[in-house]
Amino acid sequence: MSTDRSTGDIPQRLPQEAPLGRTEAARVDTDRPAAPDPASAALRVINDAPLDEAARHLAGLYEHSPWVVEAALRRRPHASLAGFRHALATAVREAPREARLALLRAHPELAGRLAASGTLTPDSTREQQAAGLQACSAEELARLRQLNADYGARFGWPFILAVRGPRGTGLSRAEVIATFERRLAHPADVEFDECLRQVHRIAELRLDALFGLEPRLGRQVWDCAELLAQHRDDPAGPLTVTYLTPAHQACQAQLRHWMRDCGFDEVAVDAVGNVVGLYRGTDPHAPRLLTGSHFDTVRDAGRYDGRLGIFVPLVAVRELHRAGRRLPFGIELVAFAEEEGQRYAATFLGSSALAGDFDPAWLDQRDAAGIPMREALRAAGLDPAGIPRLARRRSDYLGFVEVHIEQGPVLDALDLPLGVVTSINGSVRHLGEFIGQASHAGTTPMGRRRDAALAAAELGLYLEGRAAREPGLVGTVGVLEVPGGSVNVVPGRCRFSLDIRATVDAVRDACVDDTLAAIDGIAARRGLRHTLREVLRVPAAPSDPLWQARWERAVAATGLPVHCLPSGAGHDAMKLHRLLPQAMLFVRGGNAGISHNPLETVTGEDAQLAVEAFQHLLDHLAREGTPPP
C-alpha cells in the first residue's frame, strides 16, 4: 500500500474548506454543558401537548391545510421526528385525490400575484425571499410569470418547489427557473406526484425551522459530495471521473485527507487504487467491519452514486473520534477505485481485488486511447504486481455493509428516506439479431413480409408481459437497431439486447429459458433466422439474513417504518458477497429516484438519517459483543 505517494499539484484541500477539518475532529469541549436537544423538545410538543394545542403550533407546516397535521397527530405517539414526517406524508397519500389536489392549489405561485401584493403567508414569504425571488430582474420576473401561466394551463394547479433545496439553504434563481422549465414537460400524473413530494419537503424544512433543527451530519455528507464533485475529467464539463485519470487521483488525495481528518488511524491507497482507512477497535485481534462504496462515476453523473456509501461511514467514524470512543471491533472503510466500467471493459475492479477475484488478464485491456490498464496503474504510481495481495481473509472480518442511493423510484414513491435491501439482482444479458429480408415498403404485401424489426418489437412485448408475471423479476430490451434502416424499406435485420434480472437466480433463469424459446417461435412464425449470444451472467447476491436484520433494527431505531426491497442495480456488495456476509442500506433519491444523471439528489435530512442508521448499526453490533465472523 502507498501511504506517502506524492500527488503532484493535486491540492490537499479543495478551493472551499471541507466540512471535516482537523481542528474540529481533534477534540470536543466536554466542560461545556450540553445544549437542549431541539428534537426532544419538538417531540414533546408533537406527542404530549393537547391535540388542539399541538395542531395550532404546527398549523403552518402545510399551506392553508391544517387537516394534514391533524391526521398525523391522531396517530400519536411518534417515535421520532422522522416517524412524524412519515405520518404526515401517509396522511396525504391516504387522502382522496380531491383533497390532495386542494392541497396543491393552496400553494402560491412563485413570484406570482400574492408575492407582488405582499399577501403570502409568513412562511412562504421567507422561503421565496431566501431564493431571491423578490429580487428578480425584469427578465427573470417575466420568465417566471410566463412559466406560471403555462404551467397552470397545462396542469391546473400551481408549480410547487421547495426553494430552499436539498441542503436546506436555498436554490438560486437560475436553479429555480431551470427546474420550472424541466418539470413543465412532465406528464400530468408524474408532476402531480412530484408536487406532493415538494409539499412534504417544504413541510420538513418548516418543521426544522420551527424547532431550530439542523441535520448537521447530513449536511456534512451533502457538502462532501459537492466538494468531491469539483474534481472531474473535464474541469469545464459534466461530472465524470473515470479510473486513474488526474481527476480520479485528485479524488483519492481528497479522500485520504478527509479520512485522516476524521480520525482514521491508518490511511493508504492500495495497488488497485482503492483508498483504505482503518479506525481501530479496542481489540486489535478482533474481526473488523468492512464498509464502503466506489468513487468513480459514469459519464455525466450524479454526485451520490457510490460516494454516499463513503461519506456516511466517514462522518460516523468522525463522530466516534470526536467522542474519543472505540468499539470492540475496528472499522475498515474502502473507497473503491472502480465499479462503473467506464474506462476499461472490466468492472468492479476495486472490490474484485479485495474478494480475490481480480482477473490478471484485465491488466492487458486497453482504453479508448490505447493505454493498457497495466500502464495506467504504473503511471498513477501503483504496482499491478501488488493486486493479488489485496485479497482479504474471511476470518479477519465480521461482514460487509454498504450504504447506497437507491437509484430507483420506490422509496421516493413511498415517502420513505431509508430502505433495507433483500438481495442484489442476478442478471443475464444477451445480444442477438433477427435476420429477414429487406424489401420495398410500398410493393411488399403485409402477409409476405419478413420484417426483422417487428420480430424484435414482438420480443420486447413478450418479455414485458413475462417479467410482469412475477415479483422481483425485470426484463428489458434496451437495444433495438436496424442497420442501414430507411423509411421506405421493410427492415431485413434488427439487432437487439436482452437484460433479465431477478432476486433469485432460478426465477431469472426460468424467464431466460422462456424468452429464448419465444425467440425461436417468433423467428419460425415470421420466417426469419436469428443469432444470439450470452454476454453476461452474474449470480444474485441475497443479503445475509443476520446482517439484513441488523439494518432493519437500525432503521427502526430511527423511528421509521422498515421497508425491504431488492436492488436491481449491481453494487460492490455483490462482489464482496463471494467472501463475506453482506447487506445494504438504501437511501431515497429525489426527482423520482433518478440516478446516473446530474439530477440525482439526496436531501440533508435523508443523509442525516442514513448516518444515524449507520451509527445505530455500530452501536447494536458493539452491544452484541464481538460476533463470530
**Which stretch of DSSP H or E encloses residue 497?**
strand 493-502
Checking DSSP bridges between strand 266-269 and strand 275-279, what pairing results, if any?
A: antiparallel
Higher pLDDT, 4 or 607: 607
Residue 114, pLDDT score: 65
Residue 229's alpha-carbon distances to 8, 180, 247, 250, 459, in angstroms, are 20, 24, 10, 11, 41
Quote the CA–CA distance of 418 and 559 in Å, as a whole number.
11
Q: Which has more confidence, 170 or 626?
A: 170
Residue 503 has pLDDT above 80, yes or no: yes
Pairwise pLDDT comparison (219 vs 124), residue with the higher score: 219
- d(Cα 4, Cα 115) in Å, to the nearest integer? 57
Q: What is the pLDDT of residues 345-372, one digit of tens each?
A: 999 999 999 999 999 999 999 999 999 9
Judging by DSSP bridges, how do beta strands 439-440 and 489-490 pair with one another? antiparallel
Count of beta carbons in the 10 Å neighbourhood of residue 472: 18
Check if the beta carbon of residue 311 is closer than 8 Å to that of residue 221: yes
Q: Which residue has the higher pLDDT, 23 or 432?
A: 432
The residues near 391 (Cβ < 8 Å, ≥ 6 apart) are 353, 354, 355, 356
Q: 230-240 pLDDT, tens per residue?
A: 999 999 999 99
Are the CB atoms for 34 and 234 separated by under 8 Å? no
Helices of type H across 304-400:
308-322, 349-354, 373-379
> Is residue 32 over pLDDT 60?
no
The torsion angles phi and psi of 287, rounded to 5 degrees, stand at: -60, 145
Q: Are 387 and 346 in contact (CB under 8 A)?
A: no
Q: Give the span between the Cα atoms of 434 and 292, in whole angstroms.
A: 43
Does the pLDDT at position 282 exceed 90?
yes
Stated length of the chain: 629
Instruction: Locate 45 and state its grid cell.
Output: 410538543
Q: What pLDDT band is residue 133 in, cutting at 50, 70 and 90?
A: confident
In whole angstroms, give the CA distance from residue 20 to residue 199. 32
CATH of domain 218-422+542-623: 3.40.630.10
Q: Give the global pTM.
A: 0.90
Average pLDDT, the chain: 92
Q: Is the pLDDT reported for residue 615 higher than 50? A: yes
CATH 1.10.287.610 fits 39-211, yes or no: no
Distance CA 580, CA 393 (A): 9
At residue 626, the pLDDT reads 56
Evaluate if residue 473 carries a pLDDT over 60. Answer: yes
Judge residue 556's burial from the number of C-beta atoms within 10 Å of its C-beta, 0-12 exposed, 13-18 middle, 19 or more buried: middle
pLDDT at residue 554 tops 70: yes
For the beta carbon of residue 114, count every other beta carbon within 10 angstroms. 17
pLDDT at 146: 96
Question: pLDDT class for 29, splitting at 50, 70, 90?
Answer: very low
Residue 621 has pLDDT above 60, yes or no: yes
In this structure, are residues 462 and 515 in contact, taking their beta carbons and an 8 Å threshold? yes
Cis-peptide into 77, omega within 30 deg:
yes
CATH of 427-539, one of 2.40.10.170, 3.40.50.1000, 3.30.70.360, 3.40.140.10: 3.30.70.360
Tell whether the model's pLDDT for residue 14 goes beyond 90: no
Q: Determine the pLDDT at residue 112.
A: 73
pLDDT band at 124; cut points 50, 70, 90? confident
Listed as own residue / partner, the contacts of 465-471 with beta carbons closer than 8 Å and 24 or more positions apart are: 466/511, 466/514, 466/515, 466/518, 467/500, 467/511, 470/502, 470/507, 470/511
Q: Domain locations in the chain?
A: 39-211, 218-422+542-623, 427-539
Please give the pLDDT value at position 24: 34
List helix spans (H) across 356-501.
Answer: 373-379, 410-414, 452-468
Please give the C-alpha separations between residue 177 and each of 47, 135, 144, 165, 180, in angstroms, as whole numbers. Answer: 39, 14, 7, 13, 5
Q: Tell me how far apart the alpha carbons of residues 249 and 2 are, in angstroms, rounded to a whole number.
A: 13
CA–CA separation, 605 and 88 (whole Å): 16
What is the CA 577 to chain-centroid distance, rounded?
20
DSSP tally for the chain: helices H, then strands E: 23, 16
Q: How far apart are CA 173 and CA 187, in angstroms?
A: 24
Residues in contact with 160: Cβ distance below 8 Å, sequence separation at least 6, in sequence order: 104, 107, 195, 198, 199, 202
Q: Of the given ranges (22-31, 53-62, 150-159, 551-560), which has the lowest mean pLDDT? A: 22-31
Distances (CA, A) of 90 to 196, 219, 220, 503, 517: 11, 26, 29, 28, 44
For residue range 558-578, list pLDDT tens digits in order: 999 999 999 999 999 999 999
Alpha-carbon gap, residue 219 to 228, rounded angstroms? 14
Query: What is the C-alpha to C-alpha distance for residues 120 and 114, in angstroms, rounded to an integer?
Result: 6
* CA–CA dist 74, 33 (Å, integer): 36
On the question of pLDDT at 374 being above 90, the answer is: yes
Q: Rounded to whole angstroms, what are the CA distances from 195 to 89, 103, 209, 597?
A: 12, 10, 21, 20
- Is the pLDDT confidence value at 305 over 90? yes
